[in-house]
Structure 1
């Protein structure tokens, strides 16, 4: 979208300026406009990624925040999502929340890539969630370790309706046979049985102490 807009604006400006000069001047102005457009398109995407990394580093130990719009290049979902205002009366730690309608995939979820890799010294991964009235829902935090294919460790919780500040123990997510790993990604997901159900997800942050719903029955392994 940025590239297409730059092309239209650049060509329109160069054409407008070209109308004011002679033939040679018009040609030079048109080519100058084309060069500017190419430059804008070339730097736009890398500029967005650089801004995302800078925003990510400043926000840490917050790993995901729906209102951190600069970080949108670093996360994706295989479900239907939209960012909306935080519902009144719920204790989300952000002004915006991510409204997710789980998709039909085996593990519908939210993937945050290129996270800050050093999670040492933290006790919990806290995630703000809200579930509407209905059956309990499994929510899993899975992480990738550098050098390990797929996800290297995960922690699953069974969550009831209402607002919760979930706590996933970080030591379980850092379980490795090769020393303290570097974390490459975070995936928050459910399973296919919850396809079509809605959940609100707020901030995911690392903390050195906890006060929420602590996960039990930690399970680790590749998949």
Structure 2
């Protein structure tokens, strides 16, 4: 989660201004200098992140900048150096902007804890907080009437093409799965051919490589809605590199096969039984 970027860079910018020579600290040059240094640090973090194999984010840099501006405005308010309306207005707007993501994430964590043992459900777009897809797109939309159990039932539509096979990630689930026998997935195959998928479970003791974590493959018949159950006991009994500590689960992945033509499938819910 990147919700901390704004508050962290508010603190960074205020600290940089504090470290500025005292005689020049009240001037505009010091504020602009602290802002430039903070923004440069944010860009450097994203560059290093890209080099390490994790894509950088322009959105994160923008959040860093908003946080830095907010931190500087708050500094001037606290120090009593603002006599006009600009600093209070900037501080208020900035706190709203940088506080939105942490608030949203906190609510998502609370909802996740309340919903457990449901790992993912897709009533609305915000239900994708802990879900990511490597496919061509993933959207929450109305399930086609042929398979819907209610008139307005919604599901996650996972689309893919020849360049991007469908890989669905459930990120940061409640980690303790002890006492549960299986992962259940309610999914729909709208295609006129068999849909083959693999479920993989990983703990936080290693990476997410091809050789690590448990795996179980299955097929869903054409034009069918089905609930697939993947036993967890088998996952815990895997050989050393495939062993999963069910007290420390870190991620669940649903992986599709690479295909030549665009395709999609729907996921309604993922839960533990």
Q: Same fold, TM exceeding 0.5?
A: yes
Q: How far apart in 1 are the matches of 2:107 and 2:185?
A: 24
Cα deviations by residue, 1:12-53 (Å, 9 ceiling, x for unpaired): xxxxxxxxxxxxxx9622210001122122222222221111
Work out whether 1:123 is the aligned partner of 2:181.
yes
Work out whether 1:156 is the aligned partner of 2:217.
yes
Please identify the structure whose Cα radius of gyration is greater.
2
Unaligned runs of 5+ residues in structure 2 are: 1-58, 67-81
Asked if the contact 2:213–2:244 (Cα under 8 Å) also holds between the matched residues in 1, the reply is no
RMSD over aligned Cα, in angstroms? Answer: 2.8
Q: How far apart in 2 are the matches of 1:146 and 1:171?
A: 18
Q: Secondary structure at the match of 1:200?
A: strand
Q: How far apart in 2 are the matches of 1:186 and 1:193?
A: 22
Q: How far apart in 2 are the matches of 1:54 and 1:106?
A: 32
1:180 is displaced (CA, Å) by 3.4
Task: Work out which of the residue numbers 158, 172, 178 in structure 1 matches 2:234.
Answer: 172
Cα deviations by residue, 1:163-187 (Å, 9 ceiling, x for unpaired): 1111111122334547834110111
More relative contact order, 1 or 2 (CA 8 Å, 6+ apart): 1
Q: Which residue does the alignment assign to 1:144?
A: 202
Higher relative helix content: 2
Matches within 5 A, 1:62-101: 62-67=118-123, 69-79=125-135, 80-88=137-145, 90=147, 95-101=153-159
Q: How far apart in 2 are the matches of 1:73 and 1:63?
A: 11
Unaligned runs of 5+ residues in structure 1 are: 8-25, 208-223
Higher relative strand content: 1
